[in-house]
Amino acid sequence: MEQQTVTEDHAPTSAASTMDQRPGLHVDIGQRRRAQHNEVHITLKDVTVKYGTFTAVRGVSLEVPRKEITALIGPSGCGKSTLLRTLNRMNDLVPTASVAGSVRYNGEDIYDADVDPVEVRRRIGMVFQKPNPFPKSIYDNVAFGPRLNGVKRELDDIVEKSLRRAALWDEVKDKLGQSGLSLSGGQQQRLCIARAIAVDPDVILMDEPCSALDPIATLRIEELMREMTSDYTIVIVTHNMQQAARVSDRTAFFTVDVDNPQQERSGVLVEVDDTETIFTQASDERTEAYITGRFG
């Protein structure tokens, strides 16, 4: 059973059971206190993102460790989704967007003039807020990325491996020809994860991947995410504090800052630390106020 495999890594007890029995403040975070993090995978240095003249995110410096889950949390409008999209240059698709500062992936600035954004997105995959399978068959959804790269022969293998990795294989192996839209919401989201995995990225960005899902489907995805850390670096944006606490190794707290001369509202990073530290002894009082406000 897929559920059992979760226990092998970081989350020995089911996160949901904790939540179910003791709703409210108590969340399971103790399992991921770490003395030492993995090496850095992505480094942001003084990143500022603007849409036209509006500054969405200002001066963010952040390090994302390899094969761990980093959660970006904060009130709405704090720019966490915007920041996530700068990590694989999805913001390039917004004509007015501009990025200052540096985003280094394996030490290489992804915004260098001679870097191809398409190659960046192939290495750094993305899962979106709303499940968005293509109106194609399940198989074609997963095969979409490999086909872009000209893969023809081992397609069946890749599709199966990706669906297994996304813990969806058993549910869909007999109906690969059916439309991706025929699946339930949670299954659709796991299909989107499988689709992202199929292009063999090593970082996966998740933009509130569970916000459109019910609690059971959410749990499924969270388990999957924990399990995926054996191979992938994951950065997740979530507005759900419990979720951040349950799944992430590190948490970065963002807030909306109006403290500048132009009276502009833009997102800033308040602090980043081990998830346990953030949730139990945050050093900045804004973080603490936000977290206790959310839980209390």
DSSP 12: -
Minimal distance, residue 268 CB to another protein, in Å? 17
Q: Please name the amino acid found at residue 111.
A: Y
Q: What is the nearest approach in angstroms of another protein to the Cβ of residue 63?
A: 5
Residue 51 engages another protein in binding (rule: CB under 8 A): no
- Which of 98, 86, 81, 42 lies closest to 65, judged by CA? 42
Residue with tokens 């749990």: 219
Q: How far is it between the farthest Cα atoms of the chain?
A: 60
Shortest distance in whole angstroms from residue 216 CB to another protein: 23
Provide the minimum distance between the beta carbon of 39 and another protein in the complex, in angstroms, as a whole number.
Answer: 4
Q: Structure tokens of 185?
A: 């919401």
Which of 11-19, 46-54, 145-153, 218-226 is the region at the interface with another protein (rule: CB under 8 A)? Answer: 145-153
Cβ burial 189-205 (10 Å sphere, 16+ → b, else e):
bbbbbbbbbbbbbebbb
Residue selected from 45, 59, 75, 144 as contacting another protein according to rule CB under 8 A: 144
Dihedral sign (CA 175, 203, 96, 61): positive
Specify the residue for token string 């630390």: 273
Q: Which of residues 100-129 bind another protein (CB under 8 A)?
A: 105-108, 110, 112, 114-116, 118-123, 125-126, 128
Total residues at the site for another protein (CB under 8 A)? 52
Among 145, 186, 209, 267, binds another protein (CB under 8 A): 145
C-alpha dihedral over 199, 200, 204, 210, to 10 degrees?
A: 60
Selected from 25, 100, 148, 289, the binder of another protein by CB under 8 A is: 148
Measured from the CB of residue 66, what is the shortest distance to another protein in angstroms? 8
Minimum distance between the CB of residue 250 and another protein, rounded to whole angstroms?
A: 8
Distance CA(46)–CA(234), nearest Å, equals: 21
Pairing of strands 97-105, 40-51: antiparallel
Q: What token pair was written down for 197?
A: 């995995």
285 counts as binding another protein under rule CB under 8 A: no
- What span, in angstroms and rounded, lies between the C-alpha atoms of 274 and 245? 10
Q: Which of 186/242 has CB closer to another protein? A: 186
By CB under 8 A, residue 272 contacts another protein: yes
115/10 Cα distance (integer angstroms): 35
Crossing angle of helices 185-198 and 215-228, in 10° steps, is: 20
Which CB sits closer to another protein, 70 or 242?
A: 70
Least Cβ distance, residue 49 to another protein (angstroms): 17
Residue from 135, 177, 261, 296 touching another protein (CB under 8 A): that is 135
**Minimum CB distance to another protein, residue 107 (Å):** 4
Using CA atoms, how far apart are residues 215 and 243, in angstroms rounded to an integer?
Answer: 11
179-238 positions binding another protein, by CB under 8 A: 181, 192, 195-196, 199
Beta pairing, strands 69-73 & 250-257: parallel
| 230 Cβ contact list (under 8 Å, min separation 6) | 9, 67
Which residues would be at the binding site for another protein (CB under 8 A)? 34, 36-37, 39-41, 43, 63, 65-66, 88, 90, 93, 95, 105-108, 110, 112, 114-116, 118-123, 125-126, 128, 130, 132-136, 144-145, 147-149, 181, 192, 195-196, 199, 272-274, 277
